[in-house]
Amino acid sequence: MSTERAIEIVGVTKVFGEAAVVDDLDLTIGEGEFFSLLGPSGCGKTTTLRMVAGFERPTKGSILLGGTDITRMPPAKRPLNMVFQDYALFPHLTVAENVAFGLKVKRLGRDERVERVTSALGQMRLTGLAERRPTQLSGGQRQRVALARALVNRPHALLLDEPLGALDLKLRKEMQAELKEVHRATGTTFLYVTHDQEEALTMSDRIAVMRDGKVEQLADPRTLYEKPTTAFVAGFIGTSNLIVLEQPMTVDSLLVLDLGGGQRMTADATDAAPAGNVQITVRPERIALHTDLEASVPETHSKVIGRVVDVVYVGSTTHVTAGLPTGEQLVIHQLSDNPVLREIARDSDVLLSWAPSGAHVIST
Ligand code: ATP
């Protein structure tokens, strides 16, 4: 993250009726950062974005842009642009006119207007479509017009509210790459709202996972995925196995639950000093499957026999569900070309193992 602060949200609360939908929120977004607010429907991410844009006034707290307090500044005066899911293009204007609209309102001179529009259209690969109307465009093209219209104002930051929500999966992926490219090319700060964890993970420098108006965890994508601090984040970011280890021992920074008969479950406890019952998360792709129940597994690794409950082929990966002696179930993701998969079926016993680094202690 750059040391310059682009957007600061300081102690912001928004109350609708009785409910605080954003609750004493503190966030600092760095200059040029791609920052996402991620969370389930109703967690307050759109309301947060709308307060930054100025469409909602915080009940409490303040919002700063480049160090200046803009809490009471009207939306049109803020050097920000918002991109909406439904694009909000003017149907009666051409692509070029749509993009130029904001500059006209700002009374920019004709030469500068033409130059900026031409460059924004070029940047979004819309040059050949300049004279079309929005109805004559595909969804992806419309989205690019909406982006060009926002970028042409050279905003201090771009606010994006589920901008790809209306697109089909393939187009979504293409637009994700395109948005990343625009972000790289312009160096503009992006504040991005999504409920799609994969989208947030692929695009963001940092992600704030929100729940009930508060930040549950704030981290870069890899840390969020590999070291979720709460069960909520572990469950929300990808598939995760949550297991309770009852009264495990801690040996150095290794958590060990001895299951008897050489079986055990282990987890990395470097970042936590747990006591009593401990909840751990094990990522499905970190679990190895062996049909040989006597297979040798390093001492520090988990080693537990499971019974296969289900095997589901999902293209490049296959998802195996196995029941543990503790009564819990684990989901295991394997590459579909793993020969072990040919030897297992429902009700067969398998040896499951994972390195301590594949399991992570959850604090709550
Ligand atoms: P979604 O992805 O569904 O938009 P979100 O996380 O963006 O969810 P918000 O749109 O910020 O959530 O809404 C948070 C809560 O605030 C919701 O319960 C919503 O019904 C409520 N809310 C939003 N705007 C208003 C409003 N103008 N008046 C009353 N309640 C509102």
Retrieve residue 64's tokens: 């700063």
Cβ–ligand 1 distance for 47 under 6 Å, the answer: yes
Alpha carbon 312 to its chain centroid, in Å, reads 26
CA distance 171 to 181: 15
Q: Complex ipTM, two decimals?
A: 0.92
Residue 249: pLDDT over 60 = yes
pTM of the predicted model as reported, rounded to 2 decimal places: 0.86
**Domains of the chain: which residue ranges?**
5-235, 239-362
Q: Which of 13, 25, 46 to mutate to test the pocket of ligand 1 (most atoms within 8 A of CB)?
A: 46
Q: What's the start-to-end Cα distance of the chain, in Å? A: 28
Which of 96-110, 111-125, 293-307: highest mean pLDDT?
Answer: 293-307
Amino acid at 277: N
The helix/strand/coil state of 194 is: strand
**Gap from CA of 47 to ligand 1 centroid (Å):** 6
Of ligand 1's atoms, which has the minimum distance to the CA of residue 213?
14
Residue 39: pLDDT over 90 = yes
* Confidence band of 273 (pLDDT split at 50, 70, 90): low
CA distance 133 to 164: 20
**Gap from CA of 16 to ligand 1 centroid (Å):** 9
Cβ–ligand 1 distance for 46 under 6 Å, the answer: yes
Quick one: angle between helices 169-186 and 139-151, nearest 10?
20
Q: What average pLDDT does this structure show over 292-321? A: 95
Task: For 278-291, write each residue's pLDDT tens digit.
Answer: 889 999 999 999 99
| Fold match, 5-235 / 239-362 | no
CA distance 9 to 52: 8
Cβ–ligand 1 distance for 247 under 6 Å, the answer: no
Q: What average pLDDT does this structure show over 61-90? A: 91
Task: Please give the full DSSP string across 291-331, using - where no structure is assigned.
Answer: S-TT----TTSEEEEEEEEEEEEETTEEEEEEE-TTS-EEE
Nearest CA to ligand 1 atom 29: 16
The 3-class SS string of 213-236 reads: CEEEEEECHHHHHHCCCCHHHHHH
Cβ–ligand 1 distance for 39 under 6 Å, the answer: yes
Superfamily of domain 5-235: P-loop containing nucleotide triphosphate hydrolases (3.40.50.300)
The beta-carbon contacts of 195-200 under 8 Å, at least 24 apart in sequence, are 195/38, 195/39, 195/40, 195/41, 195/45, 195/162, 196/38, 197/38, 197/236, 197/237, 197/238, 198/238, 199/164, 199/172, 200/36, 200/38
Task: For 7-38, write each residue's pLDDT tens digit.
Answer: 999 999 999 999 999 999 999 999 999 999 99
CA distance 102 to 153: 7
Please give the class, per CATH, of domain 239-362.
Answer: mainly beta
Predicted confidence at residue 125, as pLDDT, reads 87
DSSP assigned state of 284: G
Cβ–ligand 1 distance for 194 under 6 Å, the answer: no
Q: What average pLDDT does this structure show over 214-239? A: 90
